[in-house]
Every structure is written in structure tokens, then in C-alpha cells.
Amino acid sequence: MFEMTRFPVAVVGPVVDEFNASHLPYFFRSRDPMYNVVDGEIGTGLPARLEEAWIGLG
């Protein structure tokens, strides 16, 4: 979970394609579905994808 910092997706999008999905217009109908995805299995798996791409978070 990204609680310590905010960073632009453009920085990691070229390395981890899954981050680019957040730039799709109207991907979510409202904030609640977005938060469900970000706080769910998909969102919590994104840090692992960064680690696999050799971008350490800690």
C-alpha cells in the first residue's frame, strides 16, 4: 500500500504496464469502485510488480 509517498504514474508506467491503467478516462464509474480495486488484490499486488522490475520501495 502506498501510504508514504505519491509519485506520478508516468515514472513507473513505462516499466510496469499495469500502472498505466489508471490513466484510462472513465475507467471507473465512481470513486468507490476505484478504491475497491486499489485497496483490493489488484492494487495491493502493484508494489510486488515494482519489486519484480527492480524498483525497490523500501
3-state secondary structure of 1: coil
Per-residue pLDDT of the chain (58 residues; tens, 9 = 90+): 545 556 677 777 888 888 877 777 677 888 898 889 889 998 888 888 888 887 655 5
> Which pLDDT does position 58 carry in this prediction?
56
Q: What is the pLDDT of residue 37?
A: 86
54: alpha, beta or left, given left = phi > 0 and alpha = psi -120 to 50?
left
- Contact yes or no for 19/12 (Cβ under 8 A): yes
